C-alpha cells in the first residue's frame, strides 16, 4: 500500500498506479488530499490523473469520483476525482 498526495490548487496531477485508490483523506495541513492505493510488484503501472474539487465546484465532463474527505477543521469538504489530464 502506498500513499499519494494531490495539492488543492485546481490542477490535475499524474500518478503511475497498478491499482485503483482505496481510501481518501485530507492532509494534515488541509492544503492537499491524500489517497492510498495498493501496489503490485511487477504489475504494469498506468498513468492516471487526479484533481481535487471543493463541494459545489463545477466538474469537467470526464471527471470520475474517487472519494470524499471528511470535513476539515476549517469546515471544508474535498472530493478527489480522476480526470483525463
Q: What is the pTM of this model?
A: 0.90
State residue 51's pLDDT score. Answer: 97
d(CA 30, CA 9): 12
State residue 36's pLDDT score. Answer: 97
State residue 75's pLDDT score. Answer: 81
State residue 16's pLDDT score. Answer: 96
What the block records as the C-alpha cell of 56 is: 459545489
- Where the chain has pLDDT below 50, the residues are none
Amino acid at each position: 500500500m502506498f500513499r499519494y498526495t494531490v495539492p488543492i490548487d485546481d490542477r490535475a496531477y499524474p500518478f503511475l498506479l497498478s491499482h485503483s485508490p482505496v481510501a481518501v483523506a485530507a492532509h494534515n495541513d488541509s492544503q492537499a488530499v491524500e489517497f492510498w492505493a495498493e501496489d503490485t510488484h511487477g504489475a504494469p503501472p498506468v498513468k492516471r490523473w487526479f484533481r481535487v474539487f471543493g463541494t459545489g465546484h463545477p466538474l469537467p465532463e470526464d471527471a470520475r469520483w474517487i472519494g470524499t474527505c471528511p470535513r476539515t477543521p476549517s469546515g471544508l469538504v474535498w472530493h478527489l476525482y480522476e480526470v483525463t489530464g
